Chain A
Amino acid sequence: MSANGNGTAEAVKDTIYRSCLLLDEEKWGEWLDLCDDGFKYSIKAWSPEINYDMTYFSADHNHLTTMTEQLPKHNTDHSPLKRHSTVYAVDVDKDGKTATAITSLVVYQNMLDGENSHLDSGENHLFLVGKYLDKLKIENGKAKFLEREVRIETRRLDKGSHWPI
């Protein structure tokens, strides 16, 4: 860790936690503002069932921008997803310009639609568990995402989601 490693680690954590708040609020554009233009995003899971390291979703910055802009044209479950995350580890590279971070992640679905909203709205379901494996760049004391792999354990995803996790 570099001399200013602690400050850098704080900057990394700050960006990760802010990203969670923005994603929780479905502020996709503002989330993407925390990401570098060359940002790469994926959702992956290991399947013991088929013995294969799977990719469930992958996209770059452009693709995420068009995809999230098109969301209003799609039919979507209205139940918001809410994240609980804890940054477990931040490793700042020697030159202090990039860092990697591992964040434990739990995503709950706060039912609005459910199956019958009369019964289900207000209830929470565990939607998925996993980790954010992030790579960030550090500039002027601020951290921006270069890559995010959402490494999930959950393979029973029921209705799934249109939204980035």
Chain B
Amino acid sequence: MPARNHKQWMADPNLPQGEWVDSRIYSDPEIYEEELEKIFKKTWIPVCHESELSEPYDFRTTTIAHEPIVITRGPDNTVRAFLNVCPHRGMMIERRPSGSFLEGQPSGNPKRMTCMFHAWQFDMKGNCVYISREKEGYQDRICKEDTGLRRLRCEVAMGGFVWVCLDDKPESSLEEWAGKPFECIRESIDAEPLEVFHYHKAIINTNYKLWHDTNSEFYHDFMHYHNRVTGFNDEYFARKNIGFEHGHVNVTSFEVNYDEYEGFESREELSFPKFPPNQWFMIDLFPGMNFNLRGSALRCDIMTPLGPNKVMIEFRGLGVKSDSAKDRQTRIDHHNSIWGPFGRNLHEDLIGVTGQGATMKNSTEPRRILHGRHEDNYIHDEIGLRHYYDEWGKWMNRLPSDPMQEYKAPAVAAE
């Protein structure tokens, strides 16, 4: 078709419902806030890795759906999560990204979370253990026993990630939620304790779902010179996308020919425990996390949506805790060459999604975004995107292709 006039451009594509979405799902401020309430406050979110708080009294802070959270490791070695909010007058209790409560703070004692404002103190289980001048001010009307922190559902699982759910009664247990899609790499990531060796973040102007889309489709390998030369072979085109309950997706493995890229070597010599060399599995978890085990390194992306057109992506790289210095360096090099902030692919992926963000800002004309590639679920089939958006539609009770309408199932189910 030649270039289109406005009416033609705005017309629905010649694809069935469920095979395209309306860009307002990426740009509408109301939809964004609703997603935080209906999805991010209801589902299991991985927030960090247990190796980031490896010793008793270590802590890590994070945010889900605007809510500040503190994760602690108790003297009993249990990892717990609390709202990082003081029950007195709402001060953020711990302000640093990580550290240890073993040392006392200017306002409080060692082994306590202390709110610096008026020196209320809490133990690693979230009990309030000290209110300054308690009796003098509150007599017997309010006491420590009434002013514990807000505890949150928290589990350490799937390779030692710390998962939090803001809902006290989540629809599924973490195992029911994520167990199936993790099966493909579970043996490898649970064989031994892992350790995070890489962390950096991007805050970019795009919708979080667009990053998830990029992580869920391999068609964009055309953008990556590296992947075109190391990947495009018969085995690559035999990779399948598999949808799971709850909107999660796996991309199955194949053998990557790293030596096809000048300057790179095969990664045969180092893998993960019980993981065949040069293999590569992807897990895309609803609503926006990605786990990527590629030969010697595990990558995890965690997204924190910051607005309809703004997201923070935290990038982590992981190896095996017992790595020798040499093996660790090899994992780091492998990780960085493709996925580091100065690596070959990540930069290209981030340019891609910010380019989408720029054309789909709120108040631009709604665009039709096509998810209609069918290739028997093989690698360039957009089944992963269709599967995700069908789930999204159910949680939001909105139709992805016309988000002001109520959800209805696509004519042909995404599965």
A→B interface (CB under 8 Å): 43, 45, 47-52, 54-58, 62-63, 66-67, 70, 73-77, 113, 115-116, 155-165
Contacts and interface: CB of A to CB of B under 8 A. Distances in A.
Given A159-B350, A162-B347, A58 B333 contact: yes
18 contacts: A48-B99, A54-B200, A55-B332, A56-B342, A67-B263, A74-B226, A74-B344, A75-B225, A75-B351, A77-B347, A156-B203, A159-B347, A159-B354, A160-B342, A160-B346, A160-B350, A162-B342, A162-B344
B9 interface: no
Interface string B305-325: 000000000001000000000
Contacts of B49: 50
Given A58-B336, A158-B350, A159-B351, A47 B263 contact: no
Interface of B: 49, 51-52, 54, 60, 96-99, 196-205, 223-226, 262-263, 316, 329, 332-333, 336, 340-344, 346-348, 350-351, 354-355, 357-358
Contact of A51 (B52, B202, B348): B52
B347 A54 contact: no
A58 to B, nearest CB: 6
Contacts of B54: 51
Contact of A115 (B198, B332, B357): B357
Nearest to A52: B197
Contacts of B343: 57, 160
A70 B262 contact: yes
A54 B317 CA distance: 10
A82 B343 CA distance: 19
Contacts of B225: 70, 73-75
A160 B337 CA distance: 13
Contacts of B96: 48
Contacts of B350: 158-160
Contacts of A74: 225-226, 344, 348
Contacts of A58: 332-333, 336
Contacts of A63: 263
B263 A159 contact: no
Contact of B202 (A48, A49, A75, A160): A160
B292 to A, nearest CB: 17
Q: Which of A45, A51, A67, A113 has the most CB of B within 10 A?
A: A51
B205 A54 contact: no
B223 A157 contact: no
Q: Which of B99, B263, B342, B355 has the most CB of A within 10 A?
A: B342
Contacts of B202: 156-160
Nearest to B55: A51
Given A58-B333, A70-B263, A74-B348, A165 B342 contact: yes
